[in-house]
Amino acid sequence: MLFYAFFAISLTRLFFIQFFRSNFLAAVAKKQHNLYVELEPLRGTIYDANLRPLAVNISADSLYAVPTEIKDKEHTINALVDILNLNRDYSKERLYRKKSFVWLARKISPEQKEAIKKLNLKGLDFLKESKRCYPNGYLASHILGFAGLDNVGLEGLELYCNDDLKGKSGWALFLRDARQKKLNLAQKMIPPQDGFDLVLTIDEVIQYIAEKEIEKAYVGFKAKGASIIVMDPHTGEILAMANRPTFDLNNFSEADKDKKRNRAVCDLFEPGSVFKIVTASAALEEGKVAEGDKFFCENGSYKVATHTLHDHQPHGWLTFKEVIEQSSNIGTTKVAQILGDNLVFRYVKLFGFGSKLGIDLPGEISGIAKDTRFWSKISIAAIPIGQEIGVTALQLASAISCIANGGQLMKPYIIKQVRDKQGEVIRENSPELLTKVVSLDTANRVKMILAGVVENGTGKLARIDGFTAAGKTGTGQKLESNGSYSHDKFMASFIGFAPVENPVIAIVVILDEPHPYYGGVVAAPVFKNVAGDVLKYLRTKHINVQEELFVENEAKRFAY
């Protein structure tokens, strides 16, 4: 009788389970034996112009837990906190969740993985992910920016081009055995779509040369900050861009905001005498002045309205060419007075100041170029010599390129191509003319005046051995918090190009509060060193390319 009673109860129980609990229990079993995992796409690689990798992906292990399978959670927490340096509250919060999957630590080191494996803790396992790596550390840090743990861009090109670089995630359902161990069998899978690659206009060698020299000046002259840009004046391609202070891309979390800021595109400053190229160009283009016209420079002191203007050293009579060569504030102001407010402002805008140039980098600002309605009586003596106006290093690079290339304002750009993993071009940038600023004749005349600055004027320390060069020095006073000009804080600068006859590079060098502070003393030598090394490199590169083409053509000839 007991046997039959037990059999009846069991049969009833089975009947109940089969018809009333089957769906619930099937769902539980499915949850226990299936593991949903998001499949991370491979982030796109960033290359320099010669396809040298600047940002790549490496394999890394990430630790996850199945909290429902961990019985002694406190023991597990204690062990992981020591190995991974995790916050105890963070670990506890995650392990006490009623979930079948939680991340504990992403992209850990091989040593940490081995230490965890030796503990043989139940409910823990690893997944392979990709980790962003920057082979050159500090090189081009403000251009590249960085991506976080989830491979999402946070700064620089990593942020600006995140949609292209990140790709699309996939997913898979993995089988697990009765012990909840993941089997390498996927029931269902949608593979991830890898991100596109970027090919930049940056040349790794030129970038290294620029970084080396700006670092030397930044440290040697005890500057607060520094920027340098090397540009192809004919196309607008950025060949190098660097700032100081800087940071290591592989340890970006240790750097403060000041080090991460791309000063070349987002810092505003009064340019000082480098801005005189605008006044000079306007005067020649409008036919108001010729190179040999003479101006009396008042022996170093000249009153405009309520303001008395001074030169860094007294001058008497100077030709217009000598006014620019010797960087006379008084001579330049007298030229600007001939032009008048409206013409000066027109050329300020034509050269691209007061507007964004549209570079493919985040953080670009427009600068400040106030309309003539807001000029005071002394603005005609301030703006033409680089005061009462705010510019960026990028705007100065485009302006000096305009003189070098024959009078055209080109749009600066840093991304050459967007490619898929098979090398097919998805998008491509090409040179873009923003506006025609001055005629070829005017540009050539200004070019020769700027060559005189290097040969005879304030830019003598910019002379390059074996090459001709042209440029302009600048020493701009910084504003104090009360609005007055400082007498001990300056922005030192040099803008120039080389060779004079056929410019292939334009360079801007900016030093923030260097000691000493004259642009011709601290910034001009940086131009000299960078331009000299870059021109030698480009010449060697050109010879090598010609040799490769010769060998290729000879091989084809003999093949036929």
What's the pLDDT tens digit per position in 273-301? 999 999 999 999 999 999 999 999 999 99
Of the given ranges (68-72, 155-159, 548-552), which has the lowest mean pLDDT? 548-552
User: Encoding tokens for residue 283?
Assistant: 């005067």
**CA 371/CA 344 separation, integer angstroms:** 11
Beta strands in 2-52 (DSSP E): 34-39, 46-47
Nearest-CA neighbor of 242 among 260, 256, 262, 224? 262
> What tens digit of pLDDT does each residue of 388-424 get?
999 999 999 999 999 999 999 999 999 999 999 899 9
Across 33-49, b (16+ Cβ under 10 Å) vs e yields: bebebebbbbbbbbbbb
Is residue 547 over pLDDT 60?
A: no
pLDDT classification of 543: cutoffs 50, 70, 90: low
For residues 500-512, give the mean pLDDT.
Answer: 97
**What would the two tokens of residue 215 be?**
């670092």
The pLDDT-based confidence of 150 (bands split at 50, 70, 90) is: confident
From the list 130, 139, 129, 131, the residue with the least C-alpha distance to 54 is: 139
Using 50, 70 and 90 to split pLDDT, how confident is the model at 504?
A: very high
Question: How does pLDDT run across 451-480, given as a tens digit for each residue?
Answer: 999 999 999 999 999 999 999 999 999 988
Rounded CA gap, 32 and 17, in Å?
A: 19
Confidence of residue 552 (pLDDT cuts 50, 70, 90): low
What is the C-alpha radius of gyration for the chain, rounded to an integer number of angstroms? 32
End-to-end Cα, the chain, rounded Å: 102
Supply the pLDDT for residue 15. Answer: 58
pLDDT at position 156 over 60: yes
Q: What are phi and psi of 95, to 5 degrees?
A: -75, -20
- Residue 183, pLDDT > 50, answer no
pLDDT band at residue 247 using 50, 70 and 90 as cut-offs: very high
Res 233 pLDDT > 80: yes
Question: In the prediction, which pLDDT does 29 show?
Answer: 46
Q: Shortest CA distance to 56 belongs to which of 132, 144, 155?
A: 132
Banded model confidence at residue 249, pLDDT cuts 50, 70, 90: very high
Going by C-beta distance under 8 Å and a sequence separation of 6 or more, which residues neighbour residue 204?
Answer: 48, 50, 52, 54, 136, 139, 140
Judge whether residue 549 has pLDDT over 60. Answer: no
Q: Is the pLDDT of residue 357 over 90?
A: yes
- The confidence score (pLDDT) of residue 546 equals 56
Amino acid 129: pLDDT: 79
User: Per-residue confidence at 9, pLDDT binned at 50, 70, 90?
Assistant: low
Question: 253 catalytic, yes or no?
Answer: no
When the pLDDT of each residue in the chain is averaged and rounded to a whole number, the result is 89
Helix axes 73-84, 110-119, angle to 10 degrees: 160
Selected residue with higher pLDDT from 178 and 52:
52
Domain annotation for the chain: domains and CATH numbers: 35-200 (3.90.1310.10), 204-249+260-544 (3.40.710.10)
Give whichever of 77-86, 178-187, 279-288 has the largest mean pLDDT: 279-288
- Check pLDDT > 80 for residue 21: no
Report residue 75's pLDDT band, with 50, 70 and 90 as the boundaries.
Answer: confident
273, 281, 328, 401: which is the annotated catalytic residue? Answer: 273
